[in-house]
Structure 1
Amino acid sequence: MKTQLFIGFTCMTLAAATGCQTGGGGEEANKEKGKSKDGKTVVTLSLKGSDSFFEAVEKGFEQKYPDIDLQIQEYKKGDEEWSSADFEKYIKTTNSALLSGTGADIIDLEDFPISKYVEKKLLADMKDTLDQLNKNDLHMNILDALKVNGGLYTVPPAFYPGTFVGDGDVLEKTIEVDDKSWTWEQFEEVSRKFKQQSNGRGERYALANYAPEQFLNKLVENNSTDFIDPTTRKAQFDSPLFVKNMKQIKKMYDDRILTANRAQIGSQLFYFTYFFSPLDVAEGAYRFYPNPKVLQMPHPQGHKDGSAFFVRNQLGIRANSAVKDEAQKFLAFLLSEDAQSLPRDEGFSLLKSVNDKQIGEVQKQAAGGTYKLPSGETVKTSEKPFVELRQLINTANRFVKKDNRVLSIVEEESKLFFSGQKTAEEAAKLIQNRVTTYLNE
């Protein structure tokens, strides 16, 4: 999808509406199944913008179920630009329709407070969808991470695993990292050891190209449950843990273990990213290191084995839709091999078999010692990082749902600490107060 990505819980536009609605959101609405002119059952799918992948899925679905007419409702067409006013209108319009029971049958809820909708019984559980599929082939590690209160209420068409890519020569010969269990505290230990061993060999860093407030945001983004309770939605930025994290990060920058400056390729031990396809290993990781190592991201406290991931779409079914059975059929088709094998611009499939095939095609080239880039250039490769990529996507289990408003507040206020204008405690209190106000709007 080429539209700009907006992610957040959008509490400010939803609080008033969700606060005055009864559970079920218009239970009496749309009891009759809609019919097209040729007598087909109409199922509507609401998307934020145009998407060629969903258009292809629509075509395949209607071929398999000729008695169903899937109608995609796009809020914006093509590559139209989004403004903050556009986005706010989109949120209000979609939210109001869902609450009143007049919205689309299937809705992309990526930008919405799904847990609030679940509480008000506005969304259908996807159990019947999963029962139509081969769970052994599904990435249940992803779907389980998307569950709310034990139920699955949304499904994505694809996912994007988060990773630390490291210098394999250093990590295999001098510094040992167990990425299945390492934490952010252990990341600091490894980084300090690397810096000590690099004395006299030029400027080398554990990570480069991130200002301290940006690095803090990455930590918050990947450990969000440490700082915002997912059930009560209460902020915890004035906690000892957050203050400690801020002080640790500042010291790592003061000690030049981390740097905001651009570093020469190969002079940093790690970089972190989200993989968008298997090609990112051959076309990205090998540009940084001759022997890249793909690792899980450091884990939050108490969370072991499994990296972070995000999704671009979360499709849910309106609980009072008159065509829930047909909507379930569509989502089951979306997660089937027929749909998951369709060409897409980005993202890993929800089916293990599809990912195995795609990774295998790239890995086959790498087995020969070289990989040919689309530009015609070749890079020396090995199979090892592709084996690590398989492990990464099979164990990704920590769902990252960004709230850009929260991240913006964290970045703005933490700058006052990193620049020496406020103490860590003072900056944390400012963040806590602003985030709390936002969450209560």
Structure 2
Amino acid sequence: MKNRWICIFLAALLLLTAAGCGKKEAQQTAEPAPPAQAEQSSAAPQTPDAADISAPQGETADAAEAQNLRVACWGDDLGLIAARLKDFEAAHPELTVETVQYASETEFLTAMGAGKLPDVIWCGYDRSRLELLAAKGYLAELDGLVDSLCAESAYFENVLRLSALSGHVYFLTPGFTLTAFSAPERVLRQAEKIETVAQFDEIFRPYCPEGYGWTTREIAMNWFMNDGLSAFVDLTTGTANFTQARFYEILDFCRQFPVEFEAATAEQMFRTIELYEPLCILREYEHYERLNGDKPGVTIQPLPFSAQDGYGVRGESYLAITSGCQNSAAAELLLREAFSLPMQKRACVQYKAGSEEDVDVVWCIPVRKVLCDILWRYSDADVPSDLSEEELGFWKADIEETNKAYDELLAMIARADHFEGGGDRTLYEIVTEEAARFFDGACTEEEAAQAIDRRAELYLMEQR
């Protein structure tokens, strides 16, 4: 069984990843016209197993070029993408993997504007840039690959298909976390989805007389923006409409939260969490048990105010094949192997040595379901045979508790129906920058909304 202290390491690792995400640039770079795609059959292509592809054949007549695979990467702060690419190249000596690590997506776009289009994109951070590239025709459809993976019934199909745009999948995530909201069951019932500010205040204000301090203003803003800003932005027409009562309500509500976490109000009756293994659920039970002292049940549900019904997914990285790919067989082989058991473990499990026990540290959920079972489904066979009767009782109780939490996690994964964070990061940054002026008292809420409308529409016009 895994030690509970692992959660501390995981929380630090996730915060490090989030910090890296927050530092990326939000500049825009002129892009070239998308390359013409090769004529495709209307039937879904048959995807062979990775083991059946020994020497991928490229679309170019140059035999040497056919052995090259060009991969563009950015947002790999922890080196996890680079490690998997190194494993892939070692497993396929017939291929030369040319990996270019970009400092940011802006640097990548600059290179692409100079005509340096890769075969594959594998990036961290958010996926909004990939959505834009897909809309402009830079990415190849992955429907055939996804259909092939789903036919194996070994993956979370709803997660594989989350990136569908206009009915087609253009990028995939090998591992993910679920963004959720937790509270004691006696305070928030499971069936009670928080839809409005008034409902939130009615439920939690009696328990937070000193104000909402545990969650920050930025996190509260994200609760509202979790539906991709669709309530205020029409990406089809390139128009924005933030000068409306619903947005004023958002600003007034978020103003109640501090910029930073406040220790004085840290132990409140709610919090936003990232779910990446069953221990995350058990930790919520333990957290509210310590807080209340009466072993309350726990409600874990999608974020408040979201226009979506289910949980939001945050990918650990994102993979796509470009429409100008010169080695489609090798590119598809890389994507398929990214979902193989060894590569999935490399993505989601890190080995940590040097403690009393060498342990595997899980930091996100693999899309391959069988690996989840390997990691988290326990049986009596996992109990050591040399235990005392007292120790045996502890192990069996721990197994039962973990399996129950795992079943809860599987039920939550089945309800994942969108990528968390609202799509285009630049739009989100425009909103938060102008909202900050209102929070600081530099303008009225209407003036902030008008400034957002102007900036958002200018940005959307530049992207069309």
Does TM-score exceed 0.5, indicating one fold?
yes
Q: Which residue of 2 aligns with 1:178?
A: 191
293, 318, 330: which one pairs with 1:314? Answer: 318
SS of residue matched to 2:69: strand
SS of residue matched to 1:5: helix
Post-superposition shift, 1:6?
Answer: 5.6
Q: Which residue of 1 aligns with 2:430?
A: 409
29, 36, 42: which one pairs with 1:24? Answer: 36
- Opposite residue 300 of structure 1, the aligned amino acid is S
**Percent identical:** 19
Residues 8-157 of structure 1: pairs in structure 2 closer than 5 A: 12-14=27-29, 16-18=30-32, 21=33, 24=36, 32=60, 41-48=67-74, 49=76, 52-58=79-85, 61-62=88-89, 65=92, 67-75=94-102, 88-93=106-111, 95-96=112-113, 100=115, 102-108=116-122, 110=126, 113-135=129-151, 136-157=153-174
Residues 308-387 of structure 1: pairs in structure 2 closer than 5 A: 308-342=312-346, 344-345=349-350, 346-360=363-377, 368-369=396-397, 385-387=405-407
Post-superposition shift, 1:367?
Answer: 7.4
SS of residue matched to 2:170: coil
Q: Which residue of 2 aligns with 1:268?
A: 268
The whole-number CA distance in structure 1 between the counterparts of 2:71 and 2:432 is: 36
The whole-number CA distance in structure 1 between the counterparts of 2:319 and 2:137 is: 16
Q: Please, what is the CA RMSD of the aligned residues? A: 4.1
Structure 2 CA distance for partners of 1:111 and 1:90, relative to 1, 3 Å: farther
Post-superposition shift, 1:271?
Answer: 0.3
Q: How many residues align?
A: 393
246, 256, 265: which one pairs with 1:241? Answer: 246
Contact 2:438 2:445 survives alignment (8 Å): yes
Structure 2 CA distance for partners of 1:239 and 1:347, relative to 1, 3 Å: same
Structure 2 CA distance for partners of 1:112 and 1:139, relative to 1, 3 Å: same
- Opposite residue 318 of structure 2, the aligned amino acid is Q
- Opposite residue 32 of structure 1, the aligned amino acid is T
The whole-number CA distance in structure 2 between the counterparts of 1:164 and 1:341 is: 27
- Opposite residue 313 of structure 1, the aligned amino acid is S
The whole-number CA distance in structure 2 between the counterparts of 1:33 and 1:263 is: 68
After superposition, give the CA deviation of every residue in 1:5-36 in whole Å (9 maximum; x if it has no partner): 268895x523x325xx2553899xx9526656
Q: TM-score, normalised by structure 1?
A: 0.73
Contact 2:59 2:66 survives alignment (8 Å): no
Contact 1:162 1:309 survives alignment (8 Å): yes
The whole-number CA distance in structure 1 between the counterparts of 2:458 and 2:81 is: 38
Q: Is residue 162 of structure 1 aligned with residue 187 of structure 2? A: no
- Opposite residue 68 of structure 1, the aligned amino acid is L
Post-superposition shift, 1:386?
Answer: 4.0
Q: Is residue 195 of structure 1 aligned with residue 239 of structure 2? A: no
Contact 1:367 1:382 survives alignment (8 Å): no
Q: Which residue of 2 aligns with 1:397?
A: 417
Contact 1:222 1:308 survives alignment (8 Å): no
SS of residue matched to 2:408: helix
Structure 2 CA distance for partners of 1:122 and 1:141, relative to 1, 3 Å: same
The whole-number CA distance in structure 2 between the counterparts of 1:44 and 1:362 is: 44
Structure 2 CA distance for partners of 1:123 and 1:9, relative to 1, 3 Å: farther
Contact 1:43 1:105 survives alignment (8 Å): yes
- Opposite residue 306 of structure 2, the aligned amino acid is P
Post-superposition shift, 1:66?
Answer: 5.2
Flag structure 1 segments of 5+ consecutive residues without an equivalent: 77-85, 372-379
Post-superposition shift, 1:358?
Answer: 2.5
Flag structure 2 segments of 5+ consecutive residues without an equivalent: 1-12, 40-57, 291-295, 351-362, 384-393
Post-superposition shift, 1:422?
Answer: 3.9
